[in-house]
A and B are shown apart, each in its own frame.
Chain A
Amino acid sequence: MWQALANGINYIINMGASVMLPIVIAILSICVGVKPGKAIRSGLMIGVGFVGLSLIVTMMNSELGPAAQAMSERFGLNLSVVDVGWPGASPMTWASSIATVAIPIAIGVNIIMLLFKWTKTVNIDIWNIWHMTFTGAIAYAVTGNFWIGILGVVVHAAFTYKLGDLWAPLMADYFDLDGITVPHGTSAYMAPIACLVDAIIDKIPGLNKIDFSMDTLQEKVGVFAEPVIIGFILGAGIGFLAGYDVTMALQLGVKMSAVMVLMPKIVKCIMDGLLPLSERAKEVMNSKFGDSEFYIGLDPAILLGDSQVVTAGLIFIPITLLIAVLVPGNRVLPFGDLATIGFFIAIAVAVCKGNLFRTLISGIAIMWSTIWIANETIPWVTKLAQTTGSITDNSLVAAMDQGGSPITYIFTQLFTMQNVPGLLVVGIGYAICMVFAVRCSKQRAAELALKREQEEEY
């Protein structure tokens, strides 16, 4: 009986992600009360997302990859591995066999922590469970041990919910989001670095007085801030730098515009498929833990409208490319994440209270560490891409969003010990940042309480 069941599960897993996950999601959806027809549609939409993504990542690599390589050779650079960004990394993660159990596990960890009062964060952001899953999926792809993969999801989930608690005062203080937090992969784990930088700048006479903001940058640059234009400029620019003729460079430009525009449309299919599950999870979590003593965990997209976040996100497009050139030994060419750098720095902006100068310095530290780690994780991300069928040739891929995560890096290094000095530097550095993050959170909570008190007196 058990043997037959195991055989059946293996048979389904062997059919590949584009078949397996639709079946799993359809069954899960039916289990939580979605009608069968709708559940099957949801499952298929996820399959559509995987198929579409494989098409677009393959095209991106075969077009941009050689151009990046030719450019690097001409200028003595190293940037030959394309960053697929979160639009590329998230579907690969959902396609990993770890993902089949990741959603219930991540929710389970949340519920257990809530029941034991270890956290106040009620996460209803099902989509971004992919960040937690990524750590597990990478660890599984590298070590081949399924249980280490599961442990990766658990560890990352628990850590993320604690980060949610940590950032809640900043959400209320800077973004006016009361009772809401963002227990999310990128912004939440990157902000501790900003806490350290902010604390250091505070101590440097002269620098600690500098403050400027640029609200109108977005209006000034207009359409140039749009992904379709960013993609074209980057594609054509790299084409020219690679020594292509005008025709080929412009063709590369238009193709990269296409990648930038089509990528979110394709990834949206996966979100569509997850929606019925995500809505049910939201209802259940809200009805059980919906009181004011909890923070509701949402997607960081809710932070990306803030004008300082938007401005910083724009300034960081060229800065990130520059950092990629400067980081010693780096091979990662930032691309897929460029249009949404805001995800990396959104909470850092709140840490710096909207001070653009400090945001820039913190952001440089954040992007530097991201690119360094993403460069280290190229073999891991490539392995994940291969095992999930996202790339079929021998090319290499990188992912800044989540491939550049200290949590993923530290966890996976602990089990592989491929680069012990790297593990120590990142581990100790990040631990120091966390100390300052806790301090920053407490300070802001105190300031907030004081502000509230004063408001009540009036």
Chain B
Amino acid sequence: MKKKVIVACGGAVATSTIAANHIVDLCKKNGIDVDICQIRISEIQSNLDNCKLIVTTSKVRRDYGVPLITGMPFISGIGVDKTEKAILDVLKD
């Protein structure tokens, strides 16, 4: 079954697109089937059904009851490996 990943940023246009493309490539390489849901941060609450992981490009302190990883490294290019590993750890099992 496809795993739903929410990728969110302020306007659902710029930074979330960068992060989403990165995650799709990463999962393809690791044989994980993902369904990306690219939205604004204000829309996360309404899209939580069946969601396995949330990646936001800014720091979000709210708890949605779903693992949340900050995808800022995909934007800045610093610390990408660590973030990739964290994402795979959540999605692999």
Contacts and interface: CB of A to CB of B under 8 A. Distances in A.
B10 A175 contact: no
Nearest to A126: B14
A298 interface: yes
Contacts of B42: 218, 225-227, 310, 339
B48 to A, nearest CB: 12
A298 B75 contact: yes
A271 B14 contact: yes
A304 B10 contact: yes
Interface in B4-48: 9-18, 21, 38, 40-43, 45-46
B18 A275 contact: yes
A318 to B, nearest CB: 16
Contact of A268 (B12, B59, B72): B12
A264 interface: yes
B43 A302 contact: no
B43 A283 contact: no
A443 interface: no
B11 A305 contact: no
Interface in A278-315: 278-279, 282-283, 286, 290, 296, 298-307, 310
A81 to B, nearest CB: 23
Interface residues of B, number: 30
Contacts of A265: 12
B50 to A, nearest CB: 18
B59 A299 contact: no
A94 interface: no
B78 interface: yes
Report the interface size class on chain A: 35 or more
A275 B18 CA distance: 7
B43 A301 contact: no
B59 A176 contact: yes
A175 B17 contact: no
B58 interface: yes
Interface in B44-62: 45-46, 56-62
Contacts of B17: 268, 271-272, 275
Contact of A180 (B10, B38, B76): B76
A93 B68 CA distance: 35
Contacts of B38: 268
B57 A302 contact: yes
A402 to B, nearest CB: 14
A399 to B, nearest CB: 15
B59 to A, nearest CB: 5
Contacts of A272: 17
A405 interface: no
A307 B9 contact: no
Nearest to B14: A127
Contact of B40 (A223, A275, A339): A339
B77 interface: yes
Contacts of B12: 264-265, 268
B64 to A, nearest CB: 11
Contacts of A223: 45-46
Contact of B15 (A219, A279, A301, A310): A301
Interface in A105-136: 124-125, 127-128
Interface string A159-177: 0000000000000000110
Nearest to B17: A271
A264 B42 CA distance: 14
A413 B46 CA distance: 45
A86 B12 CA distance: 12
Contacts of B21: 275
Contact of B43 (A87, A125, A226, A268): A226
Contacts of B77: 124, 282-283, 286, 290, 296
Q: Which 7 A-B pairs have the closest CB atoms?
A: A305-B58, A304-B10, A301-B10, A305-B60, A301-B9, A301-B15, A127-B14
Given A176-B59, A279-B18, A301-B58, 18 more contacts: A86-B11, A128-B14, A227-B42, A264-B11, A265-B12, A278-B18, A283-B77, A286-B77, A298-B75, A299-B15, A301-B10, A302-B75, A303-B58, A304-B41, A305-B56, A305-B57, A306-B59, A343-B11
Interface of A: 86-87, 124-125, 127-128, 175-176, 180, 218-219, 222-223, 225-228, 264-265, 267-268, 271-272, 275, 278-279, 282-283, 286, 290, 296, 298-307, 310, 339-340, 342-343
Interface of B: 9-18, 21, 38, 40-43, 45-46, 56-62, 72, 75-78
7 contacts: A125-B14, A176-B59, A268-B13, A301-B57, A304-B11, A305-B41, A305-B60
